[in-house]
Amino acid sequence: MSSRKQRRRLRAVTLGCSKNTVDTGHLLAQLPQDKFEIVEDGPVDCLLVNTCGFIGDAKEESVNAVLEAVAAKGRGEAGEVIVFGCLSQRYGSELKQEIPEVDAWFGAREIDPVLRHLGVEPGSGAPRQLTGGKGYAYLKISEGCDRRCSYCAIPFIRGAHRSVPIEKLVQEARSLADGGVKELILIAQDTTYYGLDLYHRRALAELIERLSEIDGIERIRIHYSYPADFPEDVLEQMANNPKVCKYLDIPLQHISDGVLDRMHRNVDGAWTRELIARLRKRVPGVVLRTTMIVGHPGETREQFGELLDFVREARFERLGAFTYSEEEGTYDASHFKDDVPQEEKQRRLDELMSLQSGISYQYNQSRVGSVERVLVDEVMPDGTLVCRSQYESPDVDGEILVRGGGARIGEFITVKITGAEEYDLEAERII
């Protein structure tokens, strides 16, 4: 029998956030190539499902993915089904009873046990397994969270905050750069908290400085920054380091003092407004992405009106929003009644996003005629290039579409913006 036939065919399905994508990549990197063949489709010996257990819709999607996996097993298309991640971390005991067809369950912090189950000793293999052939990659700089937002289940799913040492992250980033990655997207539950546990100081700016020294890395993007105690030296990097995108993902969740207090966000509305003003002053031209929650317990119509006024005032270039979802085990679930009807939550969400769509459209229109350097993420069958500038992040923001650009994935090109819609932009290549 050939060595190829002896290899176990394995496919991984990843649900949820970019942090799960990184976890799957780290796991796959440690599978010996002489024993495993990682495939995207077709029959497999092993089917891995990395689940999300954050909010209702995500949990439902993960459960459906697990059910699809066991259905494939029932049809003879998968030999073994292994489930890990946040959903099984939260509901492992219940799920074992409800879906006995799954061969093994592991939690969100149990990549090493998954590897041992597969007969692989953890710690071997490459620093990171890349999938998709993109010119960008997520770099998870820490795990867990020490914040105690009232609505959030992440701390007891993912555990306490644990920073990855700078040297280890630099090694991983070098490996990614060697594989063709041009843009690093720094992610964590709270990127601004980075380093406090290891170095007894906030070290995000130091990490950015080290990463920017790596040959091949041309962009560094910061996601998921907690607003309280935002480090000034990070603003210095954004303002003066040419490799750092003038882009910041900073989830604010609300502006009303009453709502922020109930959320345990450790900031108030005045402080939030001062932070936004400081960000725009220190980093001219910065693009801000934020996230809001509507329908939190006790949110009145007046407090929602405050949120609308704030969004009109702040004019965030990017904004996403969610309706409040009560999560068992959180402070909210044990202390507050989920008292805003679902219909009203949805109405508020629709009103907020309608407002934001107009703001986003105006921002995009203001860029028509500008010349920008963009990274090619995808080439469509008709030759259209799907690109991003420093002002767009993958998966959450719009795209810049360049027709007949004639470039490759992972290549930087210069374009002129020629048209704008609510989210996407059109452009032509400048040679």
Alpha-carbon span 216 to 365, nearest angstrom: 32
Judge whether 122 lies within some domain: no
313 and 353 both lie in a single domain: yes
Q: Is the Cβ–Cβ distance between 216 and 178 less than 8 Å? A: yes
Last residue of a domain, one of 117, 151, 170: 117
Q: State what percent of residues in the chain have pLDDT above 90.
A: 80
Which two three-digit tokens encode residue 327? 């999560």
Q: In this model, does residue 63 exceed pLDDT 70?
A: yes
pLDDT of residue 26: 86
Q: What is the pLDDT of residues 347-365, one digit of tens each?
A: 999 999 999 999 999 999 9
Say how many CA atoms lie within 13 Å of 209 toward its Cβ: 10
Q: How confident is the model at residue 1 (pLDDT cuts 50, 70, 90)?
A: very low
Among 90-99, 159-168, 318-327, 414-423, the minimum mean pLDDT is found in 90-99
In this model, does residue 128 exceed pLDDT 60?
A: no
- Cβ atoms within 10 Å of 195's Cβ, excluding its own: 22
Return mean pLDDT, the chain.
93
pLDDT tens per residue across span 310-327: 999 999 999 999 999 999
pTM for this structure?
A: 0.90
The verdict on 8 and 109 lying in the same domain is yes
Supply the pLDDT for residue 108: 86
Q: Does 130 reside within a domain?
A: no
Q: Token pair of 310, please?
A: 């704030």
* CA dist 295 → 79, 81, 348 (Å): 44, 38, 8
* Predicted local distance difference test score (pLDDT) of residue 186: 97
Q: What is the pLDDT of residues 221-259, one digit of tens each?
A: 999 999 998 999 999 999 999 999 999 999 999 999 999
What's the CA gap between 374 and 429, in Å, rounded?
A: 10
Q: Are residues 98 and 149 in the same domain?
A: no
The residue-averaged pLDDT of 305-312 equals 98
The residue assigned the tokens 């219909």 is 343
* Per-residue pLDDT at 130: 59
Kindly report, residue by residue over 19-43, the tens digit of the pLDDT: 888 899 889 989 998 899 999 989 9
**Single-letter amino acid, residue 363:** Y
pLDDT for 4 beyond 70 = no
129 within domain boundaries: no
Which contiguous run of DSSP H or E holds residue 143? strand 142-143
**Domain total of the chain:** 3
Nearest to 303 by CA among 354, 266, 268: 268
Domain boundary among 317, 351, 366: 366
| Shared domain check, 395 and 268 | no
Q: pLDDT-based confidence at 263, cuts 50/70/90?
A: very high
Order of strands, sheet of 244-249, starting from the edge strand that comes earlier in the sequence: 136-140, 183-187, 219-222, 244-249, 287-294, 318-323
CATH at residue 412 = 2.40.50.140
Residues in CB range of 93: below 8 A, 6 or more apart: none
Q: Are residues 56 and 108 in the same domain?
A: yes
For residues 144 and 208, state if they share a domain: yes
Side chain identity at residue 312, one-letter code:
R
Classify residue 242 by burial, with Cβ atoms within 10 Å: 0-12, 13-18, 19+. exposed
Confidence band, pLDDT 50/70/90 cuts, at residue 2:
very low
Same domain, yes or no: 159 and 86:
no
Mean pLDDT within 130-152: 88
Tell whether the model's pLDDT for residue 5 goes beyond 60: no
Task: Examine the domain organization and report whether 224 and 325 are in the same domain.
Answer: yes
- Report d(CA 421, CA 410) in Å as an integer: 25
| 316 domain-assigned | yes
Residues 187, 305 within the same domain:
yes
pLDDT at 302 over 90: yes
Q: Which residue has the tokens 């020294």?
A: 213
Same domain, 285 and 159: yes
**What per-residue confidence (pLDDT) applies to 188?**
95
Of 117, 144, 179, which residue constitutes the final position of a domain? 117
The pLDDT confidence band at residue 127, using thresholds 50, 70 and 90, is low
Residue (of 49, 97, 108, 98) closest to 73 by Cα position: 49
Please say if the pLDDT value at position 3 is more than 60: no
Containing domain of residue 419, as a range? 371-429
Does 156 share its domain with 44? no
Please check whether residue 131 lies inside any domain of the structure.
no
Examine residue 267 and state whether it is found in any structural domain, yes or no: yes
Looking at the domain assignment, is residue 128 inside a domain? no
Residue whose C-alpha is closest to residue 14's, from 96, 87, 99: 87
Look at residue 235 in the predicted model and tell me its pLDDT.
96
Confidence of residue 58 (pLDDT cuts 50, 70, 90): confident
Cβ–Cβ < 8 Å for 102, 95? yes
Task: Look at residue 225 and tell me if it is in a domain.
Answer: yes
Beta bridge pairs of residue 248: 222, 288
Domain harbouring 60, CATH code: 3.40.50.12160
Whether the pLDDT of residue 76 is over 90: the answer is: yes
Return the pLDDT at 353.
98
Q: What is the CATH number of the domain that holds 154?
A: 3.80.30.20
44 and 10 within one domain: yes
User: What pLDDT shows up at residue 297?
Assistant: 98
Q: Where are the alpha helices (DSSP H) in 18-139?
A: 18-29, 56-74, 86-98, 111-117
